[in-house]
Structure 1
Amino acid sequence: MGTIVCQTCDATIAYFEDEKVTTLYGKCDCCEHDNEGGEKE
């Protein structure tokens, strides 16, 4: 079983079938909206 976890807030986004235990990192919907206006430097 695999898990997709948000790299920003560590929330579990989804599960997927896999032969071994796997953790992938992505961004959840609430974290994606934070950066829509462009990143500040």
Structure 2
Amino acid sequence: MGTIVCQTCEATIAYFEDEKVTTLYGQCDGCGHDDDGEKGE
């Protein structure tokens, strides 16, 4: 079983099927960090 964890607040986002125990990091909807800033238009 694998787990997807928010890299900012460490909340569990989701679980997925896997042969090994795996932890992946992503970003949850509750963490509204704007990484875009003034990059692009």
Which TM-score bucket, shorter chain as reference? 0.7 to 0.9
Structure 1 position 19, deviation (Å):
0.2
Report the structure number with the largest CA radius of gyration.
2
Which 4+ runs in 1 deviate beyond 2 A?
Answer: 36-39
Greater fraction helix: 1
Opposite residue 28 of structure 1, the aligned amino acid is C
Matches within 5 A, 1:1-41: 1-31=1-31, 33-35=32-34, 38=37
Counterparts of 1:34 and 1:27, CA distance in 2 = 9
Structure 1 segments unaligned to the other structure (5+ residues): none
Q: TM-score, with normalisation over the residues of structure 1?
A: 0.79
Identity of aligned residues (%): 79
RMSD: 1.9
Structure 2 residue runs of 5 or longer lacking an equivalent are none
Q: How many residues align?
A: 38
